Amino acid sequence: MLHGTTGSLALAATLFVSGLSPAKAEPLPSGFVRLRELAPAIAQDIRYATPFNFTGAAVPGYGRGECVLTRMAADALIRAEKRLARQGYGLKLFDCYRPARAVAAFNDWVKPPGGQDLGRIFHPGIARGDLVARGYIAANSSHSRGSTVDVGLVRAGEAASPTLMDAGPCDGSFSTRPRESSLDLGTSFDCFSERSALGHPGITAEARRNRTILVAAMAAEGFRGYSKEWWHFTLAKEPFSKTPFDFLIE
């Protein structure tokens, strides 16, 4: 991060506009890596670095859209990707390490009067103030320990799917909800809906099959799923099982 003179600020602005970045990002804590440096082919769509998430704004702590993980989790994820590639599939990352300040921001966001909100997409039918009581937003997150990922399933070599802000409800029909993959997973990512539950009986047979493929590949490489969210996985033998982190993603 640049500090000081007007000249240095102008340089930072020039780099940003030109699509470049300052010479070198801050070093990560010991044991953490940037997934892109190890596996650049794994698709990333880090939502909280953008306005397209349930809050309607980029989230504190996400200086850029970058998947950061513990080295152990990254290695296991790369193995899962290779396993899926043999079946004609791949992974798409929506969130990895999540700074503790982002979790705090989520808990502040649910309080009135609040600001931006994409509830019409991400929590249709559930009042914003009820999201904590319903278990969709927690005071603490395993993501802050660096070995939890939110991930979807795509076809191998699939082109990126642009997600439009005018998409319909996340638990609506496949043709109207946010499009993240050519594969139906039953809901979109981060959908605060009962249909996001891993074993929900109301999803199609195709969506159930795709969820099973994703879960099997992740479980084979040591990740545990979460019954309420088909996209959420934590490395069972995580290296920092009791330590939340709050360093900036940059």
Class of residue 65 by CB neighbours under 10 A (exposed 0-12, middle 13-18, buried 19+) = middle
Dig out the tokens for 62 from the structure. Answer: 């996400």
Domain assignment of residue 18, yes or no: no
Report the domain count for the chain.
Answer: 1
Residue 161 reports pLDDT greater than 80: no
Residue 238 falls in the annotated catalytic set: no
E strand or H helix that includes residue 7? helix 6-18
E strand or H helix that includes residue 107? helix 100-109
Segment 108-121, tens digit of pLDDT: 999 987 678 999 99
Domain assignment of residue 100, yes or no: yes
Average per-residue pLDDT for the chain: 89
Q: How far apart are CA 75 and CA 90, in angstroms?
A: 15
Q: How far apart are CA 150 and CA 46, in angstroms?
A: 9
Instruction: Look up the pTM and report it.
Output: 0.89
Res 164: pLDDT: 66
Select the more confidently predicted residue: 25 or 174. Answer: 174
Q: How far apart are CA 178 and CA 122, in angstroms?
A: 9
Q: Work out the average pLDDT over 41-67.
A: 96
Domain assignment of residue 200, yes or no: yes
Domain assignment of residue 21, yes or no: no
Res 162: pLDDT: 65
Q: Work out the average pLDDT over 40-52.
A: 96
DSSP 8-state class, residue 14? H
Segment 80-127, tens digit of pLDDT: 999 999 999 999 999 999 999 999 999 999 998 767 899 999 999 999
Name which of 190, 165, 180 is nearest 210 in CA terms. Answer: 180
Domain assignment of residue 241, yes or no: no
Residue 41 reports pLDDT greater than 50: yes
Domain assignment of residue 4, yes or no: no
CATH number at residue 52: 3.30.1380.10
Domain assignment of residue 212, yes or no: yes
Segment among 11-15, 20-24, 33-37, 206-210 with least mean pLDDT: 11-15
Q: Work out the average pLDDT over 140-167.
A: 90
Domain assignment of residue 69, yes or no: yes
Q: Which domain holds residue 178?
A: 27-235
Q: How far apart are CA 145 and CA 241, in angstroms?
A: 7
Select the more confidently predicted residue: 133 or 160. Answer: 133
Q: Work out the average pLDDT over 50-54.
A: 94
DSSP 43-95: EE--GGGSS-STTSSPPTTBSSS--EEEHHHHHHHHHHHHHHHTTTEEEEEEE
| Catalytic-labelled residue, pool 81, 180, 221, 229 | 229
Q: Work out the average pLDDT over 6-20.
A: 32
Long-range CB contacts for residues 18-21, cutoff 8 Å, separation at least 24:
21/64
Res 22: pLDDT: 40
Segment among 7-11, 158-162, 175-179, 209-213 with least mean pLDDT: 7-11
